[in-house]
Structure 1
Amino acid sequence: MSASPAEDLLQQWESEQARLRQQVLEDDTEDWQRSPDFSGLERVGGVDLSFIKGDDVNACAQLVVLSYPDLQVLYEDSQMVTLTAPYIAGFLAFRETPFLLEALQRLKKNQPTLLPQVVFVDGNGLFHYREFGLACHLGVLSGLPCVGVAKNLLQVQGVNKSEEHQSQIAALQRGGDSFPLIGASGKVLGKALRSSDKSSKPVYVSVGHKISLDTAVRLTHACCRYRVPEPIRQPRRRKLCRQFQTIR
């Protein structure tokens, strides 16, 4: 019996993830990453896809670029988009990456001097079912260092909201404290980070591309005024897609 179209699509996507996964670099590749104070880092980007409530097809693809270390907005781009790929857990990148990549490509074409040196992604990187989340996908296709920062714990590869996990969260005393997210294989897939003294609820940081986990965690903390790093918080706070108001 032949596979259904949905099964064919999943096989195609799994194969594509496996192929691109081989290209992920989990080490620091830029001089600024090796500096204690990130000397040489001037521009940090953030991408996000925001959905209209009750609508899982129309969304707002957003990109901001902030100065570093003062985190002031240098550039912003927002586009209403219509998603065509279906939502399937573990394959979110196939729905979202094309539009986020387009935003980066528009910036590179129109104002290349503002291209970010690193991109924060509202989602996971290596902390994923097959170690290839949205931040990895965007990183490999864009060629830019990427960091995945998720607000909620993805219960995957043996990591779950156990009593031990909750006690580890409670032990995070101040901003910058973290603990590793260790999969069933023993590999560290990411870290839970208390990103701010003001918030006891952690974020979950993982490597996207061209950066080490320790550097990704340190940079995430450096970019946090509140719980969520500014490059990701800014698009939601600024409500860049004004069309949302008219659509509603």
Structure 2
Amino acid sequence: MSVPLIQQWESEQDRLRQQLLDVDSEDWQTRPDFSGLERVGGVDLSFIKGDDVNACAQLVVLSYPQLEVLYEDSQMVALTAPYVPGFLAFRETPFLLEALERLKKKQPSLLPQVVFVDGNGLFHYREFGLACHLGVLSGLPCVGVAKNLLQVQGVAKDEQHQSQINALQKGGDSFPLVTTSGKVLGKALRSSDESKKPIYVSVGHMISLDTAVRLTHSCCRYRVPEPIRQADCRSREYLRIRFPAADT
């Protein structure tokens, strides 16, 4: 991995971070029942097993609060940027932006009012993960939701973290992910009464952390919020049909 490329990416993250908003920016975000919110998006990339280049880039748009699929876009893409921890956005964001652009051209009335991203936002090594990158470049509110804990800035998968997880009594309960410096970069959320394993929610863009957590919980039928779950299921199904010999 070339040092100049990493430096270029770090510089780009720094530049984009200046534009990031981590406060509520839309009227619906401040309302108890999110009235005014009608469309929630979800994005994901699924890879053919053993192939880290060819993937299905997926966008779905669901109705809110019904969480029924209104729109889906599955597209095979070839990733050109290398995988480097902390810089996942440079591999994936261009294809997710293209999906949003196609939607804007085809059915602009279905453009989501918020996008759930399968990955982290501010909870990231450099406080600018995939959800932040996509949010700033798309100009849409974004929420990062990760299924596994990124051990970053002193947040660790240790006994204390496990005891905090054990203390989550019911769906909607959460605790902050606090860095060594005392900064809160996200929250661990018990997404449903049935799911004891939390998900990790962080701000992407144009939304506050508390609103992001509340909205994520309201979109969960299972452990993972429905927009991301549908994007994941549909991209895997797309690969399964087109590449039946590959185990995805």
* Alignment-derived partner of residue 114 in structure 1: 110
Instruction: State whether residues 57 and 235 of structure 2, in contact with CA within 8 Å, keep that contact through their aligned partners in structure 1.
Output: no
**1:53 corresponds to which of 37, 49, 53:** 49
Q: Runs of 5+ in structure 1 lacking a partner?
A: none
* Alignment-derived partner of residue 212 in structure 2: 216
The secondary structure found in structure 2 opposite 1:242 is helix
Hey, what's the Cα distance between the residues in 2 that align with 1:182 and 1:243? 38
* Alignment-derived partner of residue 70 in structure 2: 74
Q: Normalised by the size of structure 1, how large is the TM-score?
A: 0.96
Give the superposition deviation at 1:162: 1.2
Amino acid paired to 1:32 = W
Q: Normalised by the size of structure 2, how large is the TM-score?
A: 0.96
Instruction: State whether residues 46 and 236 of structure 2, in contact with CA within 8 Å, keep that contact through their aligned partners in structure 1.
Output: no
RMSD: 1.1
Please list the CA deviations of residues 8-63 of structure 1 after superposition, one character each: whole Å capped at 9, or x if unmatched. 00000000000101111000000000000001000000000111111100000000
The alignment status of 1:152 with 2:144, answered yes or no, reads: no
The secondary structure found in structure 1 opposite 2:109 is helix
* Alignment-derived partner of residue 81 in structure 2: 85
* Alignment-derived partner of residue 134 in structure 1: 130
Amino acid paired to 2:177 = L
Instruction: State whether residues 174 and 194 of structure 1, in contact with CA within 8 Å, keep that contact through their aligned partners in structure 2.
Output: yes
Please list the CA deviations of residues 80-127 of structure 1 after superposition, one character each: whole Å capped at 9, or x if unmatched. 000000000000000000000000010011100000000000000000
**Count of matched residue pairs:** 244
Identity of paired residues, percent?
81
The secondary structure found in structure 2 opposite 1:221 is helix
In the TM superposition, 1:158-197 aligns within 5 A as 158-197=154-193
- Are the structure 2 counterparts of residues 71 and 185 from structure 1 closer, same or farther at C-alpha, using a change threshold of 3 Å? same
Instruction: State whether residues 119 and 147 of structure 1, in contact with CA within 8 Å, keep that contact through their aligned partners in structure 2.
Output: yes
Give the superposition deviation at 1:240: 6.2
- Structure 1 residue runs of 4 or more that deviate by more than 4 Å after TM superposition: none
**1:228 corresponds to which of 204, 224, 230:** 224
**2:194 corresponds to which of 190, 195, 198:** 198
Q: Runs of 5+ in structure 2 lacking a partner?
A: none
